[in-house]
Amino acid sequence: MSDISIGLHFIVTGMVVVFLTLTIMSAAMWFVGRFAIRVKQKKDVSFTIKPTESNVLDENELAAVSIALLMYRTEKEEALLEFETPVNWKVQGRIESLERNP
């Protein structure tokens, strides 16, 4: 056999192996996804809480809880949003990467 036919044989064999592997992997991922959806649908349980006198809040308690939640949320969001956007972000990224990796 000539060198060209051996090379073509290796190329075709390699392509078949790669595409066969990708096909098997995609089928496995599809089956796992279908299985996960079925398991999630089976485990999806909903329940309701019936209001009783012990878990009903009056207006003052409800206002206090709402204000506390709003204050907590705004404090956390303000802390997360405190940053400065650099004018030249590419240069800033390079500088920071050099500072981290001496």
DSSP 29-42: HHHHHHHHHHHHHH
Instruction: Give the per-residue pLDDT at 58.
Output: 79
Residue 45: φ, ψ to 5°: -115, 130
pLDDT interval class at 16 (50, 70, 90): very high
Among the ranges 1-15, 35-49, 75-89, which has the highest mean pLDDT value? Answer: 1-15
| Residue the block writes with tokens 């329940």 | 47
Average pLDDT in the 83-99 region? 76
DSSP 56-102: ---HHHHHHHHHHHHHHHHHHHHHHT-----SSHHHHHHHHHHHH--
Residue 44: φ, ψ to 5°: -75, 100
Q: What is the pLDDT of residues 19-61, one digit of tens each?
A: 999 999 999 999 888 887 776 666 656 666 666 666 677 788 8
In the chain, % of residues over pLDDT 70? 69
Query: What is the average pLDDT value for the chain, to the nearest integer?
Result: 79
pTM for the predicted model, two decimal places: 0.37
